[in-house]
A and B are shown apart, each in its own frame.
Chain A
Amino acid sequence: MSINVDLLSSTQYFSGLDLAKVESVRPFVLERTATKGEYIIDDGETAEALYLVISGALKEIKTSAEGKELILRIVRPGESFNDIPVFDGGHNIASVQAIGSVSLYEISSTNMEIILHEHPDVALNAIKVIAQRARFFTSLVEDLSFKHVIGRIAKLLLEYADNRTESGIKLTQQDMAAIVGTVREMVSRSLKALEEKGIIKMNHHRIVIIDAEALREAVE
């Protein structure tokens, strides 16, 4: 299979470049596919390549010693992963697993260095990608450390459970995120944490408050 220049141009690293430049980069790029559940890279291993997502979605994850999985981010078409260790020469900062069938373009660390030397436009795009990543992780740290999202979710659950019989309101996790001012992933984590503490019970259409008193305590 050959590398498609238009698809390459649709990625953050090569967007805005004229096609001749993208064409000149093509020999440095390999195509790779993976099926659902397959790991593309493993946390802590030596970084060998940068990956651009052409189709499908992947999750970037950290796993605790107890086997608990934390999703750092979902990587979607046009986006990339493993940039940080490729640029700083360190080890992979997380594992990346395919959520469904995926198609990727792979550029080795060595080839990426050549491309950056030859194409300042790509280097500028790379700076933007890394800056966006820094912004994303800063926001994640803020949510995880300062914002007490669990407390706000607990408050929301109590309010909407009280009102349910009158309003019949049903919410998606995205709705809850919008209401409490966070991202859907944080809602998911908070609900999971409340469920693990035995305060709520969840299935795919219902959140049952088992211990209202403990939920009120979580608000404070």
Chain B
Amino acid sequence: MVELPEVKVELCDGCGLCLTVCDGEALVIIDCKACIIQDGWCDQCALCELVCPTGAIGFVYEIVFEES
């Protein structure tokens, strides 16, 4: 399963900059907020996270110790 970035809607100001860097067209603006649509199109480049001016979109990490 492709892991997708998450949008914190309370931080998103709907500027749409994430859309301009997404090759997969996986993002749209709905009701002035970024939304992730076509799962399969996200290539996990993380450029959306890089350009977001408010830190609203990004991949979430779980932090684990390597299993021995």
Contacts and interface: CB of A to CB of B under 8 A. Distances in A.
Are A and B a genuine interacting pair, yes or no? yes
Interface of A: 36, 55-57, 59, 71, 74, 76-77, 99-102, 157, 160-161, 164, 168, 170-174, 177, 184, 201-210, 212
Contact of B3 (A100, A204, A210): A204
Interface in B17-68: 17, 20-23, 44, 46-47, 49-51, 53, 55, 58-66
Contact of B50 (A99, A157, A168, A170): A99
Contact of B51 (A74, A101, A170, A173): A74
Nearest to B46: A204
A172 B17 contact: no
Contact of B47 (A76, A100, A160, A174): A100
Contacts of A208: 64-66
A164 B62 contact: yes
Contacts of A164: 62-64
Given A76-B51, A184-B55, A204-B46, A99 B64 contact: no
Interface of B: 3, 6, 15, 17, 20-23, 44, 46-47, 49-51, 53, 55, 58-66
B60 A170 contact: yes
Given A57-B21, A100-B20, A171 B47 contact: no
A40 to B, nearest CB: 15
16 contacts: A36-B21, A56-B21, A57-B17, A71-B50, A74-B50, A77-B17, A100-B21, A164-B64, A172-B6, A172-B49, A172-B55, A184-B55, A201-B66, A207-B64, A208-B65, A210-B66
Contact of B20 (A56, A174, A210, A212): A56
Given A173-B58, A205-B62, 17 more contacts: A36-B21, A57-B20, A99-B50, A100-B20, A160-B63, A164-B64, A170-B61, A172-B55, A172-B59, A184-B49, A202-B61, A205-B3, A205-B61, A206-B61, A207-B61, A208-B65, A212-B65
Can you list the 4 inter-chain pairs with the closest CB atoms, starting with the nearest?
A174-B55, A100-B21, A172-B58, A57-B51
A173 B49 contact: yes
B59 to A, nearest CB: 5
Contacts of A207: 61-64
Nearest to A168: B62
A102 B15 CA distance: 14
Nearest to A188: B50
